[in-house]
Structure 1
Amino acid sequence: MKPVVVAVVGPTAVGKTSLSVEIARRFAGEVISGDSMQIYRGMDIGTAKITDEETRGIPHHLIDIKQPDESFSAAEFQQRVADCVSTITERNHLPVIAGGTGLYIQAALNGYNFADQKRDDAFHEQLEKEISQDGIAALYARLEKVDPEQAAKIHPNNKRRVIRALEVFEKTGKTMSEYQDAQQIESPYRPILIGLEMEREQLYQRINDRVDEMIKTGLVEEVRNLYNKGFANTQSMKAIGYKEMIPYIKGEMDLDEAVDLLKRNSRRFAKRQLTWFKNKMNVDWYTITPEQKDKQFETILNDLAGMLEKK
């Protein structure tokens, strides 16, 4: 029988981390991080990585498994989640994915086959050379022409994903979007997706408050340390929370501007996350209000108990 996997999804700052811990405590579970940035060592504050105290003794997986200059992909995430689910269920524990990276969660739960098209190193090197000479804008424009649907999902500065999407089209004659649409959608698990959302103004205030707390607890020093270690141009440092601080560290922007930019980018990211999960996945949604959170979490836990019985 396929293993049951619970996933807690939704926008940043809505309460996914604390709910996932409560679910794991109630149902003898272990948490798998579904955040594509919490895998990196030394990137703690900007990723809102769970602290040892916040875990409340619950085992957490896929945190601090990579150096900031190492690559990571949805395919690798899928495989690592499969390994985690296997070992967790062997212990008769419930796997609980806590995540905000929609593509990664979808890939892990839907059983995509990523192995059909192998990476072509020569092709990657050629496009890397073009980017270093002419910038990424021309390549991104090329992707917009051949696969506008995929281009809309990729940030124009995310050269790794731009190159990969162009590579798939170049080598197969099919766009990445066509490739993904044809993928198997039957899950290798029996998934239960719990979605958290919040009234927009409340969520945005929580995001702003979280950024202020990050600054207070040392985000600038964290980014400066990574910058000084030579990680400035890595893919990990393009993440929200890091890219906004680099201009300040380089003296190109004052701190208030950098903080305002981080808050704005975080709010926009939250909106994109919610749109992704609403459009792409079958989720049971719950609206959270900060002052009623404990009561609402109890409702979710009781509902989940019924869902688990049916599985």
Structure 2
Amino acid sequence: MRSDDPIPLILGPTGVGKSRVAYELALRLKGAEILSADARSIYRGMDIGTDKPPPEWHAHAPHHLIDTKDPHELYNVMGFRRDAMHILEEIRHRGGRAIVVGGSTLYVEALVGKLFEGPAADPELRRRLRDSPLEELYEKLQRVDPQAAKRIHPHDPQRIVRALEVYELTGRPITELQHAASLKTPYAFLKIGLRCERTLLHKRIDQRVDEMITRGLLEEARDLQDRVPAGSQAYKSNGYREMFEHLEGKIPTVEEAIALIKKRTRDHARRQMVYFKRDPETHWIDTTEKVTEQIVCEVLSLIEC
């Protein structure tokens, strides 16, 4: 892999089948290795709720940035970018071919050079912002940085808080700073988006959640409970957050927790699509009535163009 070879970046909403497509694609590309851009799969022990690739996939196609951190460890988007760039360079030196797959929008932004490093987080300021009503925070963002408010969904607390934190620390809108100091990347990426009809996607999400419950998501959450700090990124992950809250008595029944997992996952998928659809560089493949083999062939045709 030369640094000027476009790296396939398989993106799209949760539940659309990105991991399977990336794996099947890796089997068809000589020396291919998969880099995960998923903010939850990095955590050890969080296997069922993140729907990690099965061990047999790793034997046929190396996967990176999966199971690299314990749930209590801090890990942020800039740490991901640093680790990802190091891995991509190692793959290049080995003469391999990288495939990036993931739906974590911040990770994708950092990787393709659309995220600037910005000032270090201020824990006290961030805590104060998080304790404020989200609606008030978004209204403030609309006043101090209307461009950022147009890009950021009003129900996206992570980005709203970060934008206001940067403004408080620097006195300048995050949009202005991003334009002035965007991180550069030495690699070109071929962005390939997977999407499907919304009703079908919601059905797949609901089925996947049911499968996770059958495989033992509640038991996995119970085993993790003492190792995942409340309020941490790992704790707030879809699927685990609801199970933890059920175990803590905040959600009375497991059936209510399951219903909430499904709803929040569907909402998350919708927000991902809103974000990804804004990028005119993404080549979209509708997977609605296609099997994996057909999708992979379309991906290969884009790569070989």
TM-score band w.r.t. shorter chain = 0.7 to 0.9
Match of 2:215 in 1: 217
Shift, 1:92, TM fit: 1.1
1:245 lines up with 2:246 in the alignment: no
For residues 111 and 89 of structure 1, do their structure 2 counterparts lie closer, same or farther at Cα, with a shift above 3 Å needed? farther
1:275 lines up with 2:277 in the alignment: no
Higher alpha-carbon deviation: 187-196 or 94-103: 187-196
Match of 1:293 in 2: 291
Match of 1:137 in 2: 133
Higher alpha-carbon deviation: 278-287 or 197-206: 278-287
Match of 2:6 in 1: 4
Write the distance in 2 (CA, Å) between the matches of 1:250 and 1:111.
Answer: 39
* TM-score of the two chains, using structure 2 as the length reference: 0.86
Matched position secondary structure for 1:6: strand
For residues 55 and 297 of structure 1, do their structure 2 counterparts lie closer, same or farther at Cα, with a shift above 3 Å needed? farther
Across the two proteins, how many residue pairs are aligned to each other?
297
Write the distance in 2 (CA, Å) between the matches of 1:275 and 1:269.
Answer: 10
Write the distance in 2 (CA, Å) between the matches of 1:4 and 1:44.
Answer: 30
For residues 163 and 12 of structure 1, do their structure 2 counterparts lie closer, same or farther at Cα, with a shift above 3 Å needed? closer
For residues 298 and 23 of structure 1, do their structure 2 counterparts lie closer, same or farther at Cα, with a shift above 3 Å needed? closer
Shift, 1:186, TM fit: 6.5
1:193 lines up with 2:195 in the alignment: no
For residues 235 and 295 of structure 1, do their structure 2 counterparts lie closer, same or farther at Cα, with a shift above 3 Å needed? closer
For residues 147 and 8 of structure 1, do their structure 2 counterparts lie closer, same or farther at Cα, with a shift above 3 Å needed? same
Match of 1:19 in 2: 21
For residues 164 and 203 of structure 1, do their structure 2 counterparts lie closer, same or farther at Cα, with a shift above 3 Å needed? closer
For residues 305 and 162 of structure 1, do their structure 2 counterparts lie closer, same or farther at Cα, with a shift above 3 Å needed? closer
1:104 lines up with 2:100 in the alignment: no
Shift, 1:225, TM fit: 1.9
Write the distance in 1 (CA, Å) between the matches of 2:188 and 2:87.
Answer: 15
For residues 171 and 247 of structure 1, do their structure 2 counterparts lie closer, same or farther at Cα, with a shift above 3 Å needed? closer
1:171 lines up with 2:169 in the alignment: yes
User: RMSD between aligned alpha carbons?
Assistant: 2.6
Write the distance in 1 (CA, Å) between the matches of 2:41 and 2:171.
Answer: 35
Identity of matched residues, % = 35
Shift, 1:188, TM fit: 2.4
Matched position secondary structure for 1:96: strand
Write the distance in 2 (CA, Å) between the matches of 1:235 and 1:156.
Answer: 14
Match of 1:33 in 2: 36
Shift, 1:243, TM fit: 1.5
Shift, 1:259, TM fit: 0.6
Match of 1:59 in 2: 62
For residues 36 and 75 of structure 1, do their structure 2 counterparts lie closer, same or farther at Cα, with a shift above 3 Å needed? same
Higher alpha-carbon deviation: 181-190 or 41-50: 181-190
Match of 2:87 in 1: 84
Structure 2 stretches lacking a partner, 5+ long: none
For residues 70 and 136 of structure 1, do their structure 2 counterparts lie closer, same or farther at Cα, with a shift above 3 Å needed? farther
Q: Which amino acid aligns with 1:137?
A: P
Write the distance in 2 (CA, Å) between the matches of 1:202 and 1:5.
Answer: 29
Structure 1 stretches lacking a partner, 5+ long: none
Write the distance in 1 (CA, Å) between the matches of 2:258 and 2:180.
Answer: 41
Matched position secondary structure for 1:70: coil
For residues 66 and 260 of structure 1, do their structure 2 counterparts lie closer, same or farther at Cα, with a shift above 3 Å needed? same
Matched position secondary structure for 2:272: helix
Contact 1:223 1:246 in 2 (8 A): yes
For residues 203 and 111 of structure 1, do their structure 2 counterparts lie closer, same or farther at Cα, with a shift above 3 Å needed? closer
Write the distance in 2 (CA, Å) between the matches of 1:145 and 1:74.
Answer: 26
Shift, 1:239, TM fit: 1.6
* TM-score of the two chains, using structure 1 as the length reference: 0.85
Shift, 1:36, TM fit: 0.8
Q: Which amino acid aligns with 1:23?
A: L
1:119 lines up with 2:117 in the alignment: no
1:265 lines up with 2:264 in the alignment: yes
Matched position secondary structure for 1:236: coil
For residues 246 and 86 of structure 1, do their structure 2 counterparts lie closer, same or farther at Cα, with a shift above 3 Å needed? same
For residues 185 and 119 of structure 1, do their structure 2 counterparts lie closer, same or farther at Cα, with a shift above 3 Å needed? closer
